[in-house]
């Protein structure tokens, strides 16, 4: 995503400490205390402007959601949605996804969402893709034994790459859709991006996968 600088974004993030976690290491192992209720924890890595996360949180009050996004000018849009909604089950985290294990305890997370992640098409950027093996290792660590990775993209090459990466890690596919919008799937919540691309006729790919020791 090309980023435009958003004036006042930094200040806004600081001003809403109840929604934006400024010292995430301190909450490792006790994220439930940041929420009204102790209930399952789902996180989205690279949530962008947060539409998917906020919609999910509205529809599923029995789940706590943490949205992770590094870019100030983007996470602030998610914050604005949350200011409007004031959902008790949403927290936002501005950190680098490479350090997930500093912020979450072993097995602390019940589900990870990756939706329309940056494809980083160049080979030399492989390590930045959120389905690169190093990320999968950290997902495996922070996910509960019953935990799942939900991955959705319109980028064919990224999806091909990711399925290979999952197989090398021994992950097991629970669901797979090679053309999500022409499949029988209930209640698919679209991001801004998904809606735009789907309207153009692009295929959306989705899989739900888990690690072999679990399930």
Runs of H (alpha helix) within the chain: 9-15, 51-59, 72-85, 100-103, 133-142, 156-168, 192-199
Instruction: Give min distance, CB of 163 to its own copies, in A.
Output: 6
Q: Does 160 bind its own copies (CB under 8 A)?
A: yes
**Residues touching its own copies: how many (CB under 8 A)?**
21
Q: Which of 167, 185, 195, 196 binds its own copies (CB under 8 A)?
A: 167
| Whole-angstrom distance, CA of residue 63 vs CA of residue 98 | 24
Of 29 and 212, which CB lies nearer to its own copies in the complex structure?
212
Q: Which residues contact 20 (CB under 8 A, 6 or more apart)?
A: 13, 14, 75, 79, 91, 92, 93, 94
Residue 29 interacting with its own copies (CB under 8 A): no
Q: Which of 1, 14, 15, 164 touches its own copies (CB under 8 A)?
A: 164
Instruction: Output the CA torsion sign for 80, 86, 90, 93.
Output: positive
Element (H, E) at 205: strand 205-210
Least Å distance between CB 119 and its own copies?
Answer: 14
Closest approach of its own copies to the CB of residue 56, in Å = 24
Which residues, 172 to 211, sit near its own copies by CB under 8 A?
172-179, 205, 209
Q: Is residue 158 a contact residue for its own copies (CB under 8 A)?
A: no
110 is catalytic: no
- Binding of its own copies by 159 (CB under 8 A): yes
* Residue 122 assigned as binding residue: yes
Q: Which residues pair with 21 in a beta bridge?
A: 93
Exactly one of 11, 36, 105, 118 is catalytic; name it.
118
3-state secondary structure of 102: helix
Does residue number 121 form part of the binding site for its own copies (CB under 8 A)? no
Q: Is residue 212 a contact residue for its own copies (CB under 8 A)?
A: yes
Applying CB under 8 A, does 156 fall inside the site for its own copies?
yes
DSSP secondary structure letter of residue 188: P
Alpha helices in 18-155, H assignment, sequence order: 51-59, 72-85, 100-103, 133-142
User: Exposed, middle or buried, 8 (CB in 10 Å: 0-12/13-18/19+)?
Assistant: exposed
* Cβ nearer to its own copies, comparing 108 with 194: 194
Which residues contribute to the annotated binding site for substrate? Answer: 122, 154, 191-194
Which residue ranges make up the site for its own copies (CB under 8 A)? 156, 159-160, 163-164, 166-168, 170-179, 205, 209, 212
- Residues annotated as catalytic are 118
């Amino acid at each position: 995503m090309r980023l435009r600088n958003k004036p006042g974004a930094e200040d806004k993030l600081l001003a809403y400490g109840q929604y934006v976690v400024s010292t995430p290491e301190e909450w490792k192992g006790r994220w439930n205390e940041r929420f009204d209720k102790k209930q399952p924890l789902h996180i989205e890595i690279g949530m962008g402007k947060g539409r998917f996360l906020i919609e999910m949180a509205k529809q599923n009050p029995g789940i706590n959601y943490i949205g992770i996004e590094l870019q100030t000018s983007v996470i602030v849009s998610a914050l604005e949605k949350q200011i409007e909604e004031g959902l008790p089950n949403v927290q936002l985290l501005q950190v680098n996804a490479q350090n997930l294990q500093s912020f979450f305890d072993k097995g602390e997370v019940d589900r990870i969402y990756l939706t329309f992640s940056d494809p980083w098409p160049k080979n030399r950027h492989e390590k930045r893709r959120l389905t690169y093996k190093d990320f999968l290792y950290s997902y495996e660590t922070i996910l509960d034994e019953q935990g799942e990775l939900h991955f959705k993209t319109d980028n064919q090459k990224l999806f091909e790459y990711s399925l290979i990466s999952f197989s090398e890690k021994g992950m097991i596919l629970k669901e797979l859709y090679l053309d999500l919008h022409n499949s029988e799937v209930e209640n698919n919540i679209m991001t801004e991006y998904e809606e735009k691309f789907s309207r153009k006729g692009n295929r959306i790919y989705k899989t739900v996968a888990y690690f072999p020791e679990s399930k």
